[in-house]
Structure 1
Amino acid sequence: MKEFPHTLKIATVWLVVGLVVFLGFRYFEHERQRSSFQVTRNGVIEIRRGPDGHYHWPGAINGLAVDFLIDTGATSTAMSQAMARQLSLPPLRSVQSHTAGGVVMGELVRADVVLQGGVRIERLAITALAGLDERPLLGMDVMGRLRWQQRDGVLSIHTEASP
């Protein structure tokens, strides 16, 4: 039986090492994300602040899985116009939005939003903005419906509506 050339052996070892490192990073990322979001036994959603300093809430817009960035400084929920087009959401009307970067024009659309932990908002009015990146912002139009508190890098959300 013929033996593999030395170079092929070395290349195979490096490919295996690379695969193990890649899978290790994927596992670490999966565990980090899983530990940053949990629902406690009493139904409270706990979201740990991410490495970027923000709170991320996994969910979906009209069935498309997204990772919402919680923005308590935003009056309304927002998404990119590209995502609104991808979801085939018809614009209802043009709107003006006051952002940290100034006043920008956008469109108002409606969509169903589902957030992990059992929060569902049907036909939510969402502002679609051209300059927004692909991560949608979850604003006070949603967060204001919930009872929540932030302490020690953990956002605790009670899913029943506030009185």
Structure 2
Amino acid sequence: MSRQDLPHTFKLMTVWLLVGLVIFLGFKAWEREREASRFQLAGQTIVLTRGADGHFHWPGRVGDIEVDFLVDTGATSTALPQALAERAGLTPLGTVRTQTAGGTANGFAARADITLDGGVRADRLMVAVLPNLGAPLLGMDVLGRLHFSQKPGELRIEAKE
């Protein structure tokens, strides 16, 4: 390789690195836009669009921690992963044993302040905290306070009057 080849090779590598960076940043922007479009507020109606995983997700917070709740109309109560509960500073109030899709799970009960995008709140909600839960589940203890209807790929939610 001569001295003249090095600048040409360096230029080609730089161009390919820049192309790769542009593709990566474009993908990340597309991904962020797709996630943001799953939640919309249309007046007083919250519209959730089914995610790529086939589930509805509702962004919100447990205390000050941002989370993406999985809407679970088959769950009686809201459940949180133990790692999230610890980050949010939740205090165990006693043990719980619950039935999940994966079988029986042991954990603890705690009270949590839940805030969902669109203005829905559940203060001091009793939640189940489970060590092996993959994602926070929003159960009927919160959803039952709301009126919701489903169309293919869309869940519309309104406060009950």
- Which interval holds the TM-score relative to the shorter structure? over 0.9
Q: Give SS of 1:30's match.
A: helix
Tell me which moved more, 22-31 or 63-72.
22-31
Quote the residue 1:9 is aligned against: 11
TM-score normalized with structure 2 length: 0.93
- Give the count of matched residue pairs: 158
- State the one-letter code of the partner of 2:20: G
What is the CA distance between 1:100 and its match in structure 2?
1.4
Native 8 Å contact 2:58 2:68 kept in 1: yes
Native 8 Å contact 2:77 2:127 kept in 1: yes
Deviations 1:65-107 (A, max 9, x none): 0000001011100111121122221100001111112111110
Native 8 Å contact 2:64 2:88 kept in 1: no
What is the CA distance between 1:7 and its match in structure 2?
2.0
Structure-1 separation of matches of 2:77 and 2:90: 17
- State the one-letter code of the partner of 1:151: K
Quote the residue 2:82 is aligned against: 81
Quote the residue 2:94 is aligned against: 93
Structure-2 separation of matches of 1:87 and 1:46: 27
Quote the residue 1:145 is aligned against: 145
TM-score normalized with structure 1 length: 0.91
Residues 36-115 of structure 1 aligned to structure 2 (within 5 Å): 36-40=38-42, 42-115=43-116
Over aligned residue pairs, what C-alpha RMSD do you find? 1.5
Identity %: 52
Tell me which moved more, 54-63 or 29-38.
29-38
- Unaligned 5+ runs, structure 2: none
What is the CA distance between 1:34 and its match in structure 2?
2.1
Tell me which moved more, 5-14 or 113-122.
5-14
Stretches of 4+ moved more than 2 A in 1?
A: none
